[in-house]
Amino acid sequence: LTLLMLIVATIVSFIGLVVWKYELLDMIVWAVSLAVAAVPEALPAVVTGALAIGMYRMARRNAIVKRLPAVETLGSTTYICSDKTGTMTKGEMTVRRIWVYGKEVEVTGTGYEPKGDFISEGKKIDPLSIESIYQILLASLHNNDAKIEKRNGKWVVKGDPTEGALKVLAYKAGLKETYERVGEIPFSSERKRMSTIHVIGEEYVLYVKGAPETVLLLSNRIMINGEIVELNPEHCQKIIEVTEKYASQGLRNLAFAFKKVEKKDMWTEEDEKDLVFLGIVGMIDPPRPEVKDALKLCERAGIKVSMITGDHKLTAVAIAKELGMFKEGDIALMGKDLENRSEEELLENVEKIRVYARVSPEHKLRIVRALKKKNHIVAMTGDGVNDAPALKAADIGVAMGITGTEVAKEASDMILADDNFATIVEAIKLGREIFENIKKYLAYLLRCNITELVVPLVASLATLPLPFTAIQYLWINLVTDGLPAIALGVDPPDPDLLERRPRKPNDPIFSKKEFLLYFILTPAIATAVLIYIFHYQISSGVLLLEARTTIFTAMIMTELLLAVSTRSLIHPVFKVG
C-alpha cells in the first residue's frame, strides 16, 4: 500500500504540475493528504481495541484471559484436552454405594446435605453395626481435609469435592470427628493415595484411601464379617470385578484400607504396606448438562476433544459415552499404557484417543507435545501444581479458577472462573469472532484505501483534473473510513461462525481468492464507476467544483455500501441481520 501510494503521488503530481499547471505547494499538500488517507493509521488501535473488548466479553462469560495474544490464539484452537472432574462433570460428588466383602449397601441423599439412609437388600440398615463399613466411615471422616458448610440455606463443600462427599457419607451415619490426626502421608497423582494416622484409644491407626488397584497392591489381608483374614486370589478377583462393575456404571471408585502402626515421629510409605483391605466406595459425579451441547459445537467447529482424568478407565469411558464424545473406533488409554508406548506409536494414534485414564501431570505434558507435533493448536486444562509444565507447553493453558492452585493459574493463559468446559468453547467462539472482526476491518479499510489511491491515478492518466481536493481526502479518511471501520471491529459474528474449520495460525489473513475479490476486483469496479461519473460531469461542461462534489458524494456512498457489505465476508448483504 505504501509503494502504491508513492507511485500514485509521483505520477499524479507530475501530471498535475506539467499538464494542469498546478502550483507546487498545492501538489505537495495534495500528496501529503493522499499519504495520510492511504495509511490505515487506526489499525493498531482497532486491533488492540478488538482484543481488549474480547477479553472483557470473555471475562463476563467467566473466561479470564491473561494475555492479549491468547485471545486470537483461542480462535485457532483445534484440540482441547480437558479434565473430567468438575470441568466436564458438575464436581458435586455423592456417594451412592459401599461395597465390603459379602455385602453391598446403597446410600440415599443428594448433593452435600448430610441426610440419607443406608439400604441393603431393600431394607434400611445401621451402617455402624457392620465393622468393615464402620471402619470405612471412620476413614472417610478422618482421612479428609474438606469441610462442609451451610451457606445461604445450601450445603457446600470447602475443599476437594471427593473428600466432601466422603465427609457427608460419614455425617449421614451420624459420625463426628473425634480422633486426633497425628501424621499424614499426602496424596499425589503419582501415589494415587492418601494416608493419615490417628490416635484411637491407646492405639495408632493408619487409614488409607486411594485408587482400588493401588490400595489392593498394598494389602495382604481383608476384613470379612468383622474378622481379618489373609487376602487370596479369589478375594482380589472379586474386588477387581466390583471395581470394573461400578466404573462401567460411571461411578468413581475409592478403596479403603487400614492397619495399626507403631508410634513414631514421622510415618513414611514403608508404613503403607501389609494393609487390611476394607472395601470400595462408589460415588457419582453427573455430567454438566451444558457440556453435551458444547461438545456438539466442537464437533461442528472441527475441534477435537479428549478427556483426561485420574479415574478408572471404565468410569471415564462411561461418562464420555454419556456425553456423546466416545464413539466406535475411538481409543481409551491408561496412563501406564501411555508410558509403554514409544513416541512413534503415540503419534500414530494420538488423534484417535478420546479418553486418558489414571493420568499423571507428566503424561499430560507428553500428550500436549504429541498433539503439537501433529500441528494441532492445543488447549490444555489443569488445576494442580504439577500441571504447570503441561499448561505452559500448551498453546492455551487453561487453569481452574475455583479448584486451581496459584501455581497453575500463574502458568496458564486463561482462567475459568466457573471451572466449566462449556466456558472454554464460548471463549474459542469469541476468539474466532475477534479475528473475524479484525479481518472485516482490514477488508473494508484496504478496499477503500486502494480505491482512493487508484481513482486519482486513473483520472490523471486519462488527462482529467484531480478528482478530490486535499480537504476532501482528509474528510473521507477521518469520517467515512474511520467510523464504520471501528464499528466493524465490534460487529456481531455470523451465526455459523463455529461451523467453520479452525484457521491455521500460519495461514495468511486473506486467501488468494479473497485477495483478488477484495483488493483488485472491488476497487476496479468502484474506480470505473467513479471515473465514469467524473468524466461525464467534466465532459458535460459542469464546473470542476460541482464535479468534485459529485464524485466526493459518490465516493462516500460507495464506501458506506462497502461497510454494509463487509459485515459478513461469507454471506450476501441481505442475509446479514
- Enter the C-alpha cell of residue 307: 478427556
Q: Give the count of alpha carbons within 13 A of 64, CB side only.
A: 12
- Enter the C-alpha cell of residue 111: 448433593
Instruction: Measure the CA–CA gap between 12 and 46, rounded to whole angstroms.
Output: 31
> Quick check: helix, strand or coil at residue 203?
strand
Residue 32 Cα distances to 5, 36, 166, 555, angstroms: 10, 6, 75, 20
Instruction: Measure the CA–CA gap between 532 and 551, rounded to whole angstroms.
Output: 10
Pick from 522, 516, 534: nearest CA to 561: 522
Note whether 558 and 479 are within 8 A (CB). Answer: no
Helices 522-539 + 421-461 axis angle, to 10: 30
Pick from 170, 257, 279, 141: nearest CA to 206: 257
The beta strands (E) that lie in 139-179 are given as 147-151, 154-158
- Identify the bridge partners of residue 64 per DSSP, sorted by sequence position: 415
What do you get for the CA distance between the two ends of the chain, in Å?
32
Instruction: Measure the CA–CA gap between 49 and 46, rounded to whole angstroms.
Output: 5
Residue 194 Cα distances to 164, 281, 283, 314, angstroms: 15, 15, 18, 22
Neighbouring residues of 112: CB distance < 8 A, sequence distance ≥ 6 = 92, 148, 155, 156, 157, 164, 165, 168
Residues with active-site annotation? 83
Instruction: Measure the CA–CA gap between 165 and 112, rounded to whole angstroms.
Output: 7
Q: What is the largest CA-CA distance in the chain?
A: 115
Neighbouring residues of 447: CB distance < 8 A, sequence distance ≥ 6 = 518, 519, 522, 523, 526, 562, 566
Residue 318 Cα distances to 84, 87, 90, angstroms: 12, 16, 15
Burial 479-488 (b: 16+ CB within 10 A, else e): ebbbebbeeb
Note whether 510 and 518 are within 8 A (CB). Answer: yes
Using the structure block, give the residue that is written with the C-alpha cell 476394607.
Answer: 278
Neighbouring residues of 420: CB distance < 8 A, sequence distance ≥ 6 = 62, 87, 288, 290, 291
Q: C-alpha angle with apex 534: 533 to 538, nearest 5 degrees?
A: 120
